[in-house]
């Protein structure tokens, strides 16, 4: 595109309006972000506000690894993050990616945290996060958990889940139906829910889905 002409010369206000209109169309946002450095700065912010599983690798990149790109790091823009790793990716590799992405969000994002986190996987929370919840996930407003609680690390899984449910949480969705390999048992689910009035006093919505038998699932919602 020629300098000083065309789409790239539109005023900031119009670019922001365009971004708002296509904020739910990642393919178009990605195409526009490649038009120029200026467009990358504008539309990249919309592209990564609601980051899906394919964005995790990009969010985990170091400043050096992003060269020759020198603009704002994509982790600067993340407000929501959804990840759903499969066993095709090793737990060690995924945990390293998560750790790097969380570090970049804490370093580059304005608040250092994200508002919403969705985790759907047959990896357990300890396999994904290690032994503690990173600072970037400690002020969540919305949380969706669809993951196993294996017997070998049930206590740590419960501790991490409790830590994710902080004082800022207002919506919690727990989905423990199949095809999870090791869904939590009733006592574990009870312990998790029992601490919510203390850990998340502002909680407004709670959804719990559990598999009770081979052919039946129960759903509870507050």
CATH number of residue 209's parent domain: 3.80.10
Indicate the number of domains in the chain: 2
Q: What is the pLDDT of residue 32?
A: 81
- Tokens 């600067």 belong to 76
Q: Are residues 34 and 106 in the same domain?
A: no
Tens digit of pLDDT for each residue in 89-108? 788 999 999 999 999 999 98
CA distance 128 to 207: 23
Q: Are residues 96 and 204 in the same domain?
A: yes
Q: Are residues 210 and 145 in the same domain?
A: yes
Can you give the residue range of the structural domain that contains 166? 49-221
Q: What is the pLDDT of residue 105?
A: 93
Helices (DSSP H) in the chain: which residue ranges?
12-21, 26-33, 37-47, 56-59, 91-108, 125-129, 154-164, 186-194, 196-199
Q: Where residue 193 falls among pLDDT bands split at 50, 70, 90?
A: very high
Lowest mean pLDDT of 34-38, 49-53, 60-64, 156-160, name the range.
Answer: 49-53
Tens digit of pLDDT for each residue in 158-182? 999 999 999 999 999 999 886 777 8
Q: Where residue 131 falls among pLDDT bands split at 50, 70, 90?
A: very high
In the DSSP assignment, the letter for residue 71 is S
Q: Which residue has the higher pLDDT, 212 or 180?
A: 180
Q: What is the pLDDT of residue 145?
A: 95
Single out the residue of 149, 85, 87, 89 nearest to residue 118, CA to CA.
85
Q: Are residues 100 and 173 in the same domain?
A: yes
**151 pLDDT above the threshold of 50:** yes
Can you spell out the DSSP letters for 88-152? TS-HHHHHHHHHHHHHHHHHHSSSSS-SEEEEESSS-HHHHHTTS--GGGTT-SEEEEE----GG
């Amino acid at each position: 595109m020629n300098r000083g002409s065309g789409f790239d010369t539109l005023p900031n206000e119009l670019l922001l309006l365009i971004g708002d209109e296509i904020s739910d169309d990642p393919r178009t946002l990605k195409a526009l972000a490649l038009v120029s450095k200026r467009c990358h700065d504008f539309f990249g912010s919309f592209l990564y506000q609601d980051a899906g599983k394919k964005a995790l690798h990009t969010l985990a990149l170091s400043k050096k690894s992003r060269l020759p790109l020198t603009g704002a790091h994509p982790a600067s823009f993340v407000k929501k993050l959804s990840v759903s790793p499969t066993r095709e990716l090793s737990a060690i590799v995924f945990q390293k990616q998560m750790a790097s992405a969380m570090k970049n969000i804490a370093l580059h994002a304005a608040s250092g945290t994200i508002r919403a986190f969705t985790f759907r996987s047959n990896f357990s929370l300890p396999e994904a996060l290690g032994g503690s919840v990173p600072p970037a996930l400690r002020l969540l407003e919305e949380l969706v958990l669809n993951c196993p609680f294996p017997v070998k690390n049930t206590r740590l899984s419960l501790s991490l889940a409790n830590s994710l449910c902080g004082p800022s949480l207002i919506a919690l969705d727990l989905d423990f139906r199949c095809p999870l390999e090791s869904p939590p048992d009733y006592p574990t689910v009870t312990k998790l829910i029992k601490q919510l009035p203390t850990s998340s006093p502002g909680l407004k919505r709670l959804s719990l889905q559990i598999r009770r038998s081979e052919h039946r699932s129960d759903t509870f919602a507050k």
